[in-house]
Structures are given as C-alpha cells and as structure tokens.
Structure 1
Amino acid sequence: MALFAFASPAHAEWWEARTDHFIVYSESSSADAKKFAEKMEQLDMSLRSLQNVKFSPVTSESQRLTVFRFGDVDDISRLVPGAAGFYIPNLSGSNAFTPAKSDSRSTGALLGSTGDSEKKKLDPEKVLFHEYTHHFMFQHFEAAYPRWYSEGFAETVATIVMKPDGSFHIGDPPNYRSDLLFQSMLNVSVERMLTSQNKPTGEDFYSWYSVGWLLNHYLTFGPNRQGQLKQYLRAIKSGVKPADAARQTFGDLGKLDKEINKYKGSGKLGGIDVRIANFAPPVAQMRQLAPDEEATMKVRIRTKAGVNKKLAPNAARDARVVAERYPNSYAAQLALADAELDLAEFQPADLPRAEAAADRALAAKPDSVDAMILKGRALLERGKTDKAQLAAARTWFTKAYNRDPEHPAPLYYNYLTYYEAGGNIPESAIVGLEKAYDEALYDDQLKLVLTRQLLSEKKGPTARSILMPMAINPEFGDSYKKYAEVSDLIAAQKVDEAYKLLATTMAEDDRKRRSGDDD
C-alpha cells in the first residue's frame, strides 16, 4: 500500500511561493499559491505589530517557515490523526502542513463543536494561523509559556481578520469552539487549568484552547485585570512555579473563574482594530516545480512530518522508488538521504544508504547546505560506534557553517561530534551551541542539550531558565516530571544531581525513541 495518498487529480501542479519569511509548496494554481503566501506574510506583519517585533530579513534559508499545502483535511489527518493542520519545529527548517482544498466534512466534532452551523466548522486556515503563532512566539521570545496561555493566545490570533490596507481586527471568538465555551465549559475550572501538574486528560487538552482562549481574552481586553497577565508570565519566567505564580498574581482563583464566566456572556468579546504603520503589501516570488521535484513531494511531506520506527521503512522505500526514477536529481537524492537517515536511527545498518544518497545530492549540487548537513549527520551516527568518523562528520558541518553561518544545525551537530567523542569540549563548539540556541529558540532537543552542557559547567541559574519551558509543560508526560525535578534540584543548588538526572533522562528518552517504545 502507498504510504499515504492525496485526494487529488491524476496530475496536480505544484508551485513554490517565496516571501520574506515563508516558503510555500502548494498543490494548486499559481494564483492561489501566490495569494496564500502573501496572506501568510501579512500575518507575520500583523504579529510583529502586535508584539513589537521589528521586521528583519532572513539571513539563512532555515529561518523561513516551509508550508506544505496539499490535499484536503482528510489527507492532513492521515499524517496526524484528528488534525486539520499542524506545525513541526526543526533545526534544519521548521515546517507546517495545511490543506490546499476545502473538504466536504465538518471538523467540528474533532475540535470541540457539534452543531451543523457553518460558523461551527473549523476553517483550516485558522488552524494554520494558530500554528504559525506558535512558531512566531517560539522564534522570537525566550520565555516559558504555560500551555493554556500558549494555546489561548494562538487561538486569539487564529480568528484574526486582515484587510487589504494592512489593518486587522483581532479578538473575535473561535466559533468552532462555541459548544465548549458557551455550554459545557468542559467542567474545567480556571483553578484546575492554572494549577494542575498531572498528565493532561482530553478534557484538559480542550480546555487549553477554549477556557484558555477566554481567560487570555479577559486578561488582555477586559477592563478589570490589566497588567496581570504580563506580571504572571514574568513570574514564571523568573522561576516561580505556574501554580504559585497564578495565586500570587490573580489571588482567589475561584473568584477569577466567576469573573470569566460572567465575561463570556457579557457580549463584549469583540477584540480591537489595529493599523500597521507604513504597510507595504507583500509580494511572493513564484516558481513551478520541475517533474523530479513534484515526484518527491509525498516523500518530503511524510519525512518532514516525522516518522517513527513503524513508518520509517515505508518512507525510505518510497523515496528509493523516486530516486531510481531520477538518479541525477538533487531533489530526489536529498529526499532519499533524509528518509534513509530517519530509518538509520532505528536500523543503523541503513547508514551507508543515507551517506550514499547524500553523496549523490552533493554531486548534483555541491554547495547544498542541506546535503552537507545530512552527510555530516550520517557520519555522526556512525561515529557513535566508530569514533574515527566524528572528525570526518565535523568537516561537513564546518563546510555547511561556512556556507550559511546563521544556520543553527551545523553548530548544533558540530557540538555533538565533540560530546560523542568524550573528553573536553572546545570553547568554540560550546559558543556555537549557544549561538544555535539563539537562532532556534523553538527546538526542544537543543534546549535539553544546552541545559546539560550548562549544568556540566555549574551554570545552574542559566540552565534552569532554558529548561523552564519544558519543566512546566505536562504534555511532555513522564519526562516533564523529570525536567521539573531537574529544575527543583537546580533551585536547591544541587547542580551535580541535576546534571545526572537530566543526562539519564535524555539517554533513556533517546533509547525509547530508537527502540520504538514511545510510539
């Protein structure tokens, strides 16, 4: 059986649309892809206006968000069951996935609404706006956001209405969550949402999006508690536990719960209008994909969406089929190298295939940073059992860095070559790791590696601030409890114990992932 299939015509056009901060691959017409990419760029402008983030041109291709736009909602949910769109942060370039076509079925039942009204159907565009808000916040702000706020703020942006003159309206209710907001309220109180440290239930999950939206709206637009949201977030960033920060900032949480329940029925949930100064309409640069590039799209989408031990063999098999059809194609060989490297994490014997495909991609395009990184990563994996390969891996990461000094991946993997080698790690490699973190605040694995390094240097407070976003997020499951324990050990000035616990947790998580125990 095919890995997955798009609900599309026998041959659909694929277009690449580039703007200042996006690369969109769209299975649609040129005009449709262009309009979509320009709308995404305007969303970025709107968020910059809201968050007072200055425009800055990208200095590395890795800084652009790649959006794969294809099929319908059913096709998206084949990648992630129940999803109408999703976002995957990645050192080598983050990716988002969204439908190119409207589907005939309502996604309301999946997303918290059960009626037949068109207003209760979730527009996939709103999902993408929600997911891009996550990317924007993680990319630009070094902060520890509790999950309710992260999702509640993203839902606030999801319903943004942008106008041709650059102005926009923000704050409209997410009608697709109306049943949760205005009827059941999920039986999740504000106190539970703000203070629970247990593994989240499905009800908790939905509360982040609905009750979280309402609380964020009230604290942002309501007249009675102005300034408290910033105070609460600052307290968490400083190391105060979220439950304590909530009680210190908001006082009686039962009273707050009553206030937002009254607020939701007040008819004052309309938000505000904002005008962007000196607005210039964005313009996307268009290019139709060549046949070999089109042939790789299904494999690229599957690989970039993430594979586990069960899915990796299928992705690699499909990539081989495309690469055999286009043996001299850079796009096909790069996609194959990526898929083979994913498989090699579960089946190390596949590493020679990954390295060979990277070599063919480099032969087709010698200046490819992506191919250099994949070649280096294959050698790094080999170096975990054959230390002699680590120096060779390092040369490829150096080449990639020289070609693109703002790309975080070469710096991160270069550091790992020294870590895997054992012994002292050069100061230059540690500085590179810190720079990679600055360029990729959204990457959780990088956070863990840098935290571990800082703990080895006895830099407890700095390590704790970097770990904090993961130490307050129960969605990380059992590992979250370990991260929280590491944070507590640092606060108690037991840095050596914190280092041992984090290193052990990271090693165990890696073992589970490679063995498929966490699928």
Structure 2
Amino acid sequence: MKLRVAFLAMIAAAASPVQAKWYEASSEHFVIYADDSENDVREFAENLEKYHSAMALVSGRSVVTPSPSNRVTIFVVGSQRDIRKLAGSDSDTIAGFYVPRAGASRAFVQDIRNRSNGYPDFSTIILLHEYAHHFLIGSFRYAMPRWMSEGAAEFFASAGFNKDGSVQIGRPAMHRAGELHHADDVSVHELLDAELYEQRRGKGYDAFYGMSWALYHYLTFSEERSGQLGEYSGLVMRGKSSLEAAHEAFGDIDRLDKEIERYLRQRRMFNIKLPPERISYGPITLRELPEGEAEMMDVRIVSQRGVTREQALELLVDAREVAEKFPGDAGVLTALAEAEYDAGNDDEAIAAADRAIAIDPMRPNAYVQKGYALFRKAEDADDVEAAYAEAMEAFSALNKIENDHPLPLIYYYRSFIERGVRPSENARHALERASQLAPFDQGLALNTAMMFAEEGKIDVARFTLEPLAANPHGGPLAGQAKEYLEALEPVAEGTSWHPSSPELSDAVAAAAELKDGDEAAKD
C-alpha cells in the first residue's frame, strides 16, 4: 500500500504498550480492533450496530449484508495526535479518517470514549459521519449534490446512544456550532449552486458543513416544507441540476435562506428517538487477540493505512522481529505476508502466506497477499499464461471460503487485462458484481464504467460515473470521472468508447491498482 505522507517512524507511540490486551469485536457490519476494556469494546460495537439499524429505519433504505471481508474494519489507535500522524497531516481538525476499498475498507479513530445520554466523542462523530456516507452510497446509487451528501452525513452523525437502549437521530450538530458562528458564511443559494460556491469560496474555513446540516435538518423536520426534500431528491435523480430542482421543489431560495437563519436561532429543535424495541442487530463476538497478534498490531495498523516502499522496508524489520518470536501464529504470519509484499518481496510474501494458510486456512488476507504477490510476479514471467493461472488459484481459494469477497472477482477480470486478452463475458460480469458489492470503491467504479463504455453501454457507464464525479472526497478520480462524463456526452448508446489519449488510459490503469494511491476521506 502506498500513501504520500511522512512515515511514522515509531507507530508504537500511536498504540498502547504491547502488554495491553487487544480485542477483536466482530459484528454483522463492523470489525473493531482496540486495546481497551472488554466492556468498552463491546459497547462501542453495539452502538455502531444500533447506528446502522437506526439509519436503515430513518432513511427507509437497506444494504445487503456484507461479506466478512467487506465489512468496515475499525482500528482504535490512540490520541488525536496519533491520528494526525497516521493520517500524515498536522491539521488539528482531524480526529479520525476512513479509507474505502473493495474488501478492505478501513477506519481509524481515537481511543474509545463511550457516552450515554449525550453527544459522542468527536472522533466517534467523524466515524459516524463517514459510515453514513458508506451506508448511503451502498443503499442509493445516484449522484447526490455535495450539500445533500454532507448534510445527510452530518444529520445522522449527530446521533445519541442512551442508557435505556434507545437511539436518537437528527439531534442538533453541536460540533458545528463554532463553525456556524465563526467561520465564513455560506448561503443556501451557494449550497444549492456548486459553481457559485466555488466562485465565492475563500481560502479560509467556511460554514459549508454546518449550513449543509442546517438545510438538511430543517427540510426534514419543517411541517411547512414536508415532502420537499424528497421531491428535490427525485428531481435531481431525473436529471435536473441542483439549482433547477431547488427552484422547483423549494420555491424562492432567498426566502428559504431567511428561514434557515431563523431556524438556527431557535432554542429547541426536533430529533427522532427510536426505542430499543425498534433497534435490531445480530450477535457481537469478542475475541482477545493472542500475544503474537497483539504485538503485531502496531505493524498491521500502519501497513493497512498505507506505506511507501521506503516506509515498508523500515516496517518490515519490526514485522520480521515479531514473526521470529511467534512462528506458529497465523495472524502474525498474515501480517508478515502483507509487510513483505509492501516491501517488494514477493517470494517471501507468498511463503509467509502459505505458512499462515497451513495453520489457519480461514485467513482471507493471507490469500489476498499471496494473490497480490503472484500477480506482480506474473508480469515478468516467461510463461505468462501459466503465471496468471497460478495467481488466480489464490483468489479462487479465497472465493471458496468467502463467496462474495470482491477481490477474486476483480482479479479474475484483471487476469484477462494483464495478459492483453479481451475479458470473457464471465469476467465482465465478475467486475460488475464486484462493483455492486463495493460501490464505495472509487477506482473500481471508474474501471467498471470504462468496461461498460467499451461494451457500448453508454447510459450505464454514465450512471456509474455520476456518483463518483459528484463525490466531494473523490480527489483525482472524481476529476477523471468528470472528464469521462464530458467525453461521453456526444456518444450514442450502443457505440463502443474508450479513452483515446495516453493520459486517460494511464489513469484507468492506475485506478486498477487497488493497493496504490489510497486517499483518506477526512472531515
């Protein structure tokens, strides 16, 4: 994995001492790793599952239960200072971050601070915000305007978990109060007109997130404007611009702006309180990590956040040291395989993965790292056909133990592309299925859209690109998606299209590298 940040020379500073007990909490939608008390870890896991259930109830949407590896994995890493180091940023506004990847979505948060009958800790709010994006992308795939995407995430993230088991959704976003009071003003008109916002946007900190929450909250609870948010959303879905849809659904925008000003001066606001009998979730399993896995957690956290090759070489020293002490621990050997792969040592990665699988054949990441290494070796193999067939064996084995893991599907498609062979119909279906399983993976969405465009499925390609182009955290891939959408405008349905310039082709190739170029979404 790669990222463009200074290396954490000693990630041990970002985690508690090795002697601390590490727990793995496993539930339907989350996996949590934390060196905290067993009770706190369990309560944290329960609250996250309650949050998922509450989002499904309030939004009226649902997502398919993810395969085990496609759940969001959360690492509890320490203080805000530790989070900033891990994120590679000096910003004092970062209290957590999320990296969406097919089969490997990761979130990094501060130490657990469970609170009952009150607002969650800010690091937890960040996690709830990012999971709201994750949930909404997975349950409703269309290009939401940025204000609506962020407003919805803020609306849900202001949640509360009460001692009686109830969950509150849509409480005032108190963590945005300072922003609304002190930051540069953003009008409702600017929220609804993205081009106007960009033209007027200053270099300083503004109230975009706070105002997005305010508008979403007001439209949700205002009796006078009941149903207008849904009408606006439907109009945007049918192709109206954000501003056109707003004029049609909301009417006079200046009037709406004044209503929001008055709304923010209110002393009381509505929220939704869901009683415990309406909240449902599956079992939560806690496992105390054995000594070897616990000692390897520092390495694992950094590796799964992302490292450059130079950083990987430094990290590998620690990984090998732990592996020498615990040669029979499958979790340790799986983490070693990843560290070896990141350092460019393909044979060593394969050997470590094979040792892990021999001890515990139910370690998905061992198959993943072996597959990655075999694919990289296949690029320079004398017998390319045989090398890629061998590489696919690791992913096929993974598919047998976890049928809906997206990576075997992605790499089946790539096994054709890497050999310069036109993908079979089954391979194309595999990539499409992977995109359905992991709609939050932006690189995967871009590649799937390009596949559709080449097949002449122009409308489907546009539909796939639009959410990516509108993603406020999309970075370079969002910009690329916008370029593709513009290029596809004159292309008729049924016409095969693919990027003609070397730059565009290179971008598609780069997007396929699932372990490269990861950018964290930070709020």
Query: Is the TM-score greater than 0.5?
Result: yes
Residue pairs, 1:437-452, within 5 angstroms: 437-452=435-450
Q: In 2, are the aligned partners of 1:380 and 1:393 still within 8 Å (CA)?
A: yes
**In 2, Cα distance between the equivalents of 1:370 and 1:141?**
29
Deviates more, 1:463-472 or 1:89-98: 89-98
Residue 135 of structure 2: SS of its match in structure 1? helix
Letter in 2 for 1:131: E
Deviations 1:71-104 (A, max 9, x none): 222222221234212222222232222222569x
Picking from 31, 37, 40, the partner of 2:39 is 31
Please state if 1:506 is matched with 2:508.
Answer: yes
Q: Measure how far apart 1:482 and its partner are.
A: 3.3
2:307 counterpart of 1:300? no
Q: Deviations over 1:130-184 (max 9, x none)?
A: 2222222233332323333222222212221233554332222222221222x24
Whether contact under 8 Å (1:152, 1:212) holds in the other structure is yes
Which amino acid letter does the alignment assign opposite residue 373 of structure 1? V
Give the drift of 1:25.
1.4
1:517–1:470 CA distance, 2 compared to 1 (3 A): closer
**Which residue identity lines up with residue 72 of structure 1 in the other structure?**
S
CA distance in 2, matches of 1:262, 1:102: 34
Q: Which region of structure 1 is more displaced relative to structure 2, 244-253 or 159-168?
A: 244-253
Tell me the equivalent position of 1:227.
Answer: 227
In structure 2, C-alpha distance between the alignment counterparts of 1:476 and 1:56, rounded to whole Å: 24
Give the letter for the 1:130 counterpart: H
**C-alpha spacing 1:8/1:238, structure 2 compared with 1 (3 Å):** same
In the alignment, which residue of structure 1 is the partner of 2:143? 144
Q: Secondary structure at the match of 2:371?
A: helix
Cross-structure match for 1:334 = 334
Task: Report if aligned partners of 1:194, 1:246 keep a CA contact under 8 Å in 2.
Answer: yes
Q: Contact between 1:460 and 1:490, CA under 8 Å: does it hold in 2?
A: yes
Matched, 1:49 2:51: no
* 1:236 CA drift (Å): 3.6
Alignment partner, residue 72 of structure 1: 79
| Further displaced range: 491-500 or 161-170 | 491-500
Distance in 2, Cα, partners of 1:413 & 1:438: 15
2:108 to 87, 90, 97: 97
SS across alignment from 1:500: coil
**CA separation of 1:469 and 1:22: change in aligned 2, threshold 3 A:** same
SS at match of 2:500: helix
* Most deviating of 498-507 and 290-299: 498-507
Output the CA distance in 2 between the equivalents of 1:508 and 1:429. 20
Give SS of 2:13's match. Answer: coil
1:157-215 Cα deviation digits (max 9, x unpaired): 2221233554332222222221222x245222233333235599786875442111111
**3-state SS of paired residue (1:48):** helix
> Which segment drifts farther, 162-171 or 172-181?
162-171
Question: Secondary structure, in 3 states, of the residue corresponding to 1:307?
Answer: coil
Q: Distance in 2 between matches of 1:199 and 1:384?
A: 46
* Cα distance in 2, alignment partners of residues 45 and 453 from structure 1: 35
When residues 479 and 133 of structure 1 are mapped into structure 2, their CA distance, relative to the original with a 3 A threshold, is closer
Residue aligning to 2:3: none
Deviation at 1:462, TM superposition (A): 0.4
Q: What letter is aligned with 2:295?
A: A
Shift of 1:333: 1.8
1:62 touches 1:93 (CA, 8 Å); kept in 2? Answer: yes
Distance 1:395 1:244, change over 3 A: farther
Residue in structure 2 matched with residue 114 of structure 1 by the alignment? none
Following superposition, the deviation at residue 323 of structure 1 comes to 2.3
Q: What CA RMSD, in Å, does the superposition of the two structures yield over aligned residues?
A: 3.3
* 1:379 counterpart = 2:387: no
Structure 1 219/503 Cα, relative in aligned 2: closer, same or farther at 3 Å? farther
d(CA) in 2 for partners of 1:6, 1:162 = 28
Counterpart of 2:25? 17
Q: Which residue in 2 is equivalent to 1:370?
A: 365
CA–CA distance in 2 between the matches of 1:336 and 1:244? 54
TM-score (normalizing by structure 1): 0.85
Q: Residues 127 and 479 (structure 1 numbering): CA distance in 2 closer, same or farther, change over 3 Å?
A: closer
Does 185-194 or 447-456 show the bigger shift? 185-194
Residues 489 and 497 of structure 1 are in contact (CA less than 8 Å); yes or no, is this contact kept in structure 2? no
Change (3 A) 1:63 1:517: closer
Please list, as runs of the form range in 1=range in 2, the aligned pairs for 1:305-316 lying within 5 A after superposition.
Answer: 305-308=305-308, 311-316=311-316
Please list the CA deviations of residues 249-285 of structure 1 after superposition, one character each: whole Å capped at 9, or x if unmatched. Answer: 4455444333312221133533233346554576532
**What SS does the corresponding residue of 1:68 show, helix, strand or coil?**
strand
Range moving further from structure 2, 84-93 or 364-373:
364-373
Aligned to 1:460: 458
Query: What amino acid maps onto 1:187 in structure 2?
Result: D
Q: Which residue of 1 aligns with 2:168?
A: 169
SS in 2 for 1:410: helix
Deviation at 1:500, TM superposition (A): 3.4
Structure 2 counterpart of 1:323, which letter?
Answer: A
Task: Give deviations 1:213-246, integer Å, cap 9, x for gaps.
Answer: 1111122112333333233333444444445544
- Structure 1 pair 326–472 and aligned structure 2 pair: CA distance change class (3 A): same
Identify the structure with bigger relative contact order (alpha carbons < 8 Å, sequence gap 6+): 2
Confirm or deny that 1:257 pairs with 2:268: no
Moved more, 171-180 or 379-388: 379-388
Contact 2:446–2:511 at 8 Å: present in 1 too? no
Q: Is the 8 A contact 1:372 1:399 kept in 2?
A: yes
Structure 1 counterpart SS, 2:418 = helix
SS of 1:70's partner is strand
Residue 125 of structure 1: CA displacement?
Answer: 2.3
Contact kept, 8 Å, 2:395 with 2:408, in 1: the verdict is yes
**What's the CA shift string for 1:474-508, capped at 9, x where partnerless?**
54445433321311332322665664365343246
Code of the residue aligned with 2:505 in structure 1: it is A
Identity level (%): 33
Letter in 1 for 2:480: K
Structure 1 unmatched ranges of 5 or more: 104-118, 345-349
CA displacement 1:281-332 (0-9 Å, x = unmatched): 7653222110111011111111222334554333334323322332332112
Please identify, of 201-210 and 486-495, the stretch whose mean Cα deviation from structure 2 is larger. Answer: 201-210
Q: Which amino acid aligns with 1:89?
A: P
User: What stretches of structure 2 of length at least 5 have no aligned partner?
Assistant: 1-8
Query: Structure 1, residues 332-368: CA drift from partner, whole Å, max 9, x if none?
Result: 2211222333343xxxxx3333333323322332343
Residue 218 (structure 1) aligns with = 218
Change (3 A) 1:247 1:379: farther
TM-score for the superposition, normalised by structure 2: 0.84
Bigger drift between 44-53 and 240-249 goes to 240-249
Deviations 1:449-495 (A, max 9, x none): 11111011010110111111121235444543332131133232266
Paired letter, 1:48? A
CA contact 1:333–1:357 (8 Å) conserved in 2: yes
Give the secondary structure class of the aligned counterpart of 2:184. helix
CA distance in 2, matches of 1:342, 1:190: 46
